[in-house]
Structure 1
Amino acid sequence: MVPHGNLHEGLAADPAQEVEETLLSRPGLRIGRIVSAGQASPPGFWYDQAEDEFVLLVAGEAVLDIEGESTSRRLRPGDWVHLPARRRHRVAWTQAEPPTLWFVIHHAP
């Protein structure tokens, strides 16, 4: 059977924690979705990942802080950003209602 699904189905928005689900994984590649319901990175925390990350905001809104940028980046549905490996970033804010839905691709640099 060919893998398939719908990004909008089975969303488990949890106000206590972000929900991340891997949709497809191969060596050097991981595709997933993240559902945020008002979560943000803890104060002082920065993601510092070994792989590149492509992020597409599908629903809701979010604000990202990206190291080296002087202003926060507000994302709305359809906005995307490609974060190179080791580019530190953090989630400053996510919309709780409706939940914020992210489509993410992690891949080798």
Structure 2
Amino acid sequence: MPVTGNLFDIGSTQGADERFDTLVEQGGMTIERIVSTGQASPPGFWYDSPRDEWVVLLTGAASLEFEGDPQLHALQAGDHVLIEAHCRHRVAWTHETEPTVWLAVHHEAGV
């Protein structure tokens, strides 16, 4: 039987933490929905994944920061970015009053 859902059915988004929902995990690929409501990466924290990550912002707004790049990269609904493996990055800001819904696809580097 097919597994169905709705990316925008996020329920309650109150709380201090972002919400991570794994939608598919198969063959070295993970697709997840992330819901942010004002969260940002902790000071000094950098994501450093061994896999490539393609992410699209579905709703809300956010800014990403990449190590060694002083410019913040603002994202709004519809914007996407491919973050190559070991490209150190962090979430600098997400919208505080409107849920920011991300769709992230993690896969083996170079695939």
- Shorter-chain TM range is over 0.9
Residue pair 1:12, 1:19 contacting (<8 A) in 2 also: no
CA distance in 1, matches of 2:11, 2:76: 18
Q: 2:66 corresponds to which letter in structure 1? A: I
State the TM-score, normalizing by the size of structure 2.
0.92
What percentage of residue pairs aligned between the two structures are identical?
47
Partner SS state of residue 62, structure 1 = strand
CA distance in 2, matches of 1:86, 1:12: 33
- The offset of 1:13, in angstroms, is 1.3
Q: 1:32 corresponds to which letter in structure 2? A: E
Gaps of 5+ in 1: none
What is aligned with 1:82?
Answer: 82
Q: 2:77 corresponds to which letter in structure 1? A: P
Question: How many residues were matched structurally?
Answer: 109
CA RMSD of aligned residues (A): 1.1
What is aligned with 1:2?
Answer: 2
Gaps of 5+ in 2: none
**Could you list the per-position Cα deviations for residues 19-54 of structure 1 after superposition, in whole angstroms to 9, with x for gaps in the alignment?**
100001102100010000100000000000011000
Q: 1:87 corresponds to which letter in structure 2? A: C
State the TM-score, normalizing by the size of structure 1.
0.94
